[in-house]
Structure 1
């Protein structure tokens, strides 16, 4: 018995889509941090903006990650975008654990993870609705 549903499958694998989304988000982060470094070096802007700016950049990069997966997968953008945001936030936590000597998992890390999941979900919902 045939189903009446028309389902479109992408030629790209799901894992490859998530890897590309994370790569796009990482490129965005690198470009923004290089720009911030230049601004801090050559202007009178204080280094005290770094923690706030890094949090904002992380939120935007999770949004971009979710947006990319939503555009590519075209269904369930909130779920797939949230998963992309979670994976991206998890990778940041792992890198922080490896590179920061006194890194501890506390409420700040859990809050950033939750914000990454929500931002990825919002990006996924936006991505699914883009034409």
Structure 2
């Protein structure tokens, strides 16, 4: 949310255009969702793919509702691909989070 606010200010008060920041925004979204999946999987300590997938799906649902209710538009094909990748990257983060937290708990025991 903070990144969104920063980019909104950049787009509003500078001459930058959304097209020029598209790759930066996409990369930060991937990093954020991987981190969210990693943290949620690490806290749950089991079924990282499921909890990470739910993290990605909740993110996609919030974006979809904002777009549908705010702009009266559904996802296009490109957005469906992006949000599928977002969910998959969150699942990978969840799996890694479970494995790292499980390995750390085994070492301390």
Deviation, 1:39, is 5.1
Give the TM-score normalised by the residue count of structure 2: 0.72
Q: Are 2:7 and 1:54 equivalent residues in the alignment? A: no
Distance 1:75 1:116, change over 3 A: same
Deviations 1:37-86 (A, max 9, x none): 555546x7x22323333322322222122112101100121222112111
Give the TM-score normalised by the residue count of structure 1: 0.62
Considering only aligned residues, what root-mean-square deviation do their CA atoms show, in Å? 2.3
Deviations 1:92-115 (A, max 9, x none): 1111111124x2332112112211
Q: Which structure is higher in helix share?
A: 2
- Equivalent positions of 1:15-94 (< 5 A) are 30-37=1-8, 41=13, 46-47=16-17, 48-94=19-65
Distance 1:39 1:115, change over 3 A: same
In the alignment, what sits opposite 1:11? none
Gaps of 5+ in 2: 105-109
Contact 2:52–2:92 (CA under 8 A) maintained in structure 1: yes
Contact 1:70–1:125 (CA under 8 A) maintained in structure 2: yes
Higher relative contact order (CA closer than 8 Å, sequence separation 6+): 2
Deviation, 1:33, is 2.9
Whose radius of gyration is greater, 1 or 2?
Answer: 1
